[in-house]
Amino acid sequence: MPTVKHPETIHVWGCFSAKGVGSLTIMPKNTATNKEWYQHILQKQLLPTTQEQFGDDQCLFQHYGAPCCKAKVITKWLGEQNQN
């Protein structure tokens, strides 16, 4: 059976909580999730979802351990959001 050495990839990002699901982001084909994309997704998808579901109540955000999640710029940005 023939195989494809480098198949096209599609990355998606989504979130959910006990209060419901957030929107799903589908990235363009063959786009890697880097720290710039991740910050954009958090700003455009996560923040509106947490505001809608939790309002001013606190919530805990847990992300996966991909390198883009551990980037210093992401850690700094998340800390800044927590102060607002």
- Residue spans per domain, the chain: 12-83
Half-sphere exposure of 69 (CA within 13 A, CB side): 7
Whole-number Å distance between alpha carbons of 8 and 26: 14
The pLDDT confidence band at residue 10, using thresholds 50, 70 and 90, is confident
pLDDT of residue 16: 92
Taking only the tens place, the pLDDT of each residue in 40-84 is 999 999 999 999 999 989 888 888 888 999 999 999 999 998 765
At residue 84, the pLDDT reads 56
**What does the alpha-carbon distance between residue 82 and residue 43 come to, in Å, rounded to a whole number?**
13
Question: Residue for token digits 């800044």?
Answer: 80
Q: pTM of this prediction? A: 0.79
pLDDT score of 15? 92
Helix (H) or strand (E) holding 16: strand 16-17
DSSP 41: H
Count of CB atoms situated within 10 Å of the CB of 72: 8
pLDDT band at 35 (very low <50, low <70, confident <90, very high): very high
